[in-house]
Homo-oligomer: A and B are copies of this chain.
Amino acid sequence: MVKGYVPVGLSNRHVHLSKAHIDILFGEGHELCVFKDLSQPGQFACDEKIEVVGPKGALTMRVLGPARNETQIEVSLADGFALGVVPPVRDSGDLENSPGAKLVGPKGEVVIDKGIIAAARHIHMHTSEAEQFSLKDKDIVSVKVEGKRGLVFDNVLVRVHQNYALEMHLDIDEGNAAGIKNGDKLAVI
Restricting to A138-152, which residues have a CB under 8 Å from any CB of B?
147-152
Which residues of chain B are near A76, meaning CB under 8 Å? 176
What residue in chain B is nearest A77 (Cβ atoms)?
B176
Copies in the complex: 2
Which residues of chain B are near A176, meaning CB under 8 Å? 76-78, 173-174, 177
Min Cβ gap A122→B in Å is 12
Among A76, A155, A176, which residue has the most Cβ atoms of chain B within 10 A?
A176
Which residues of chain B are near A164, meaning CB under 8 Å? none
Assembly CA distance A148 to B89 (angstroms): 7
Which residues of chain B are near A148, meaning CB under 8 Å? 89, 120, 155
**A residues at B contact (CB < 8 Å):** 76-78, 89, 120-121, 147-155, 171-174, 176-179
Among A76, A120, A177, A178, which residue has the most Cβ atoms of chain B within 10 A?
A177
What residue in chain B is nearest A173 (Cβ atoms)?
B176
B149 and A152 form a contact (CB under 8 A): no
Which residues of chain B are near A177, meaning CB under 8 Å? 171, 173-174, 176-178
B149 and A151 form a contact (CB under 8 A): no
What residue in chain B is nearest A177 (Cβ atoms)?
B177
For the complex with contacts A89-B149, A120-B149, A173-B177, 13 further pairs of A-B residues with Cβ separation under 8 Å are: A77-B176, A77-B179, A78-B173, A89-B179, A147-B155, A149-B155, A152-B152, A152-B154, A173-B176, A174-B176, A174-B177, A176-B177, A177-B178
